[in-house]
Amino acid sequence: FMKLAVPSALMVCLEWWSFELLVLLSGLLANPKLEASVLSICLNTASLTFMIPFGLGAAISTRVSNELGAGRPEAARLATRVTMVLGLVTGVSLGLIMISVRNLWGYAYSNEKEVVEYIARMMPLLSVSIIFDDMQCVLSGVVRGCGLQRIGACVNLSAYYLVGIPAALCFAFVFHLGGMGLWFGIICGLIVQMLLLLAITMRTNWD
């Protein structure tokens, strides 16, 4: 049990902690009050949109494990493909919604014009991260369903802490992109995570 539970927990925690770390790093920027406020709002928004793909990930994890356990690898493969399409459609839809309300979304959290305008500038980046986050969430579910939690944990560790966080530091403090640089860095981590999980899924021997 622990051999599955610990890596599964690490898969979730390693990703979540990297996003929380962005808020902490924002306190080191030139305008920490503004940056921390905006990054916190973006994190809250990302958490809100994450619930849908998280459900898809949980569903495909259960479906894949059940189908493989029943000796139906083709059904597991089909379920994976269908859920990947659903994840992509959901991610793009949520991203487009966030872009369409970018000038209004900030008012749900603050009446300060500076905060609202900053959030509007962040929304395109947030929308991109939502798309990749949706896809990785589905693929993570597939990996868990195949019993590859250890590999998934290693992927998350590499993607976020060898790519995402270093890239965030570089964009924010070397190229002076501020909070947008921090979020752009985490997008780099999301892309790497999604590509690695996709490669694992495509190379999985379903039989």
Whether 67 maps to a domain, the answer reads yes
Residue partners of 169: CB distance under 8 A and separation at least 6: 25, 185
pLDDT at 122 over 70: yes
Is residue 68 situated within a structural domain? yes
CB 87 within 8 A of CB 56: yes
Q: How far is CA 22 from the centre of its chain?
A: 13
The answer, as to whether pTM is greater than 0.85, is yes
Q: Which domain holds residue 188?
A: 2-202
- List phi, psi (to 5°) of 111: -100, 0
**101 within domain boundaries:** yes
The mean predicted confidence, pLDDT, of the chain is 94
Share of the chain above pLDDT 70, in %: 100
Q: What local confidence, expressed as pLDDT, does residue 157 receive?
A: 95
Give the residue from 139, 141, 138, 149 showing the smallest Cα distance to 196: 139
Structure confidence at residue 8 (pLDDT)? 84
pLDDT tops 80 at residue 207: no
d(CA 154, CA 132): 18
Residue 207 in any domain: the answer is: no
Tell me which residue of 166, 197, 170 sits closest to 18, measured CA to CA. Answer: 166
Burial of 46 (0-12, 13-18, 19+ CB in 10 A): middle
pLDDT in tens, 37-92: 999 999 999 999 999 999 999 999 999 999 999 999 999 999 999 999 999 999 99
Q: What share of the chain is helix, strand, coil (3-state, %, to 5)?
A: 90, 0, 10
User: Does residue 34 sit within a domain?
Assistant: yes
In a domain, 69, yes or no: yes
**Per-residue confidence (pLDDT) for residue 206, from 0 to 100:** 80
Taking 70 as the threshold, does the pLDDT of residue 186 lie above it?
A: yes
Tell me the per-residue pLDDT of 160-169, one tens digit each, with 9 for 90 and over.
999 999 999 9
Residue 190 has pLDDT above 80, yes or no: yes
What pLDDT does residue 172 have? 96
The answer as to whether 121 is a domain residue is yes
What is residue 173's predicted lDDT score, i.e. its pLDDT?
A: 95
pLDDT band at 205 (very low <50, low <70, confident <90, very high): confident
Terminal Cα distance for the chain, rounded: 24
Residue 172 lies inside a defined structural domain of this protein: yes
Contact 10, 170 (CB under 8 A): no
User: What are the pLDDT digits (tens) for 1-30?
Assistant: 677 788 888 898 999 999 999 999 999 998
pLDDT at residue number 4:
78
Domains identified in the chain, total number = 1
Contact 73, 79 (CB under 8 A): no
How distant, in Å, are the alpha carbons of 52, 106, 167 from that of 190? 17, 24, 11
Q: What is the CA radius of gyration of the chain?
A: 18
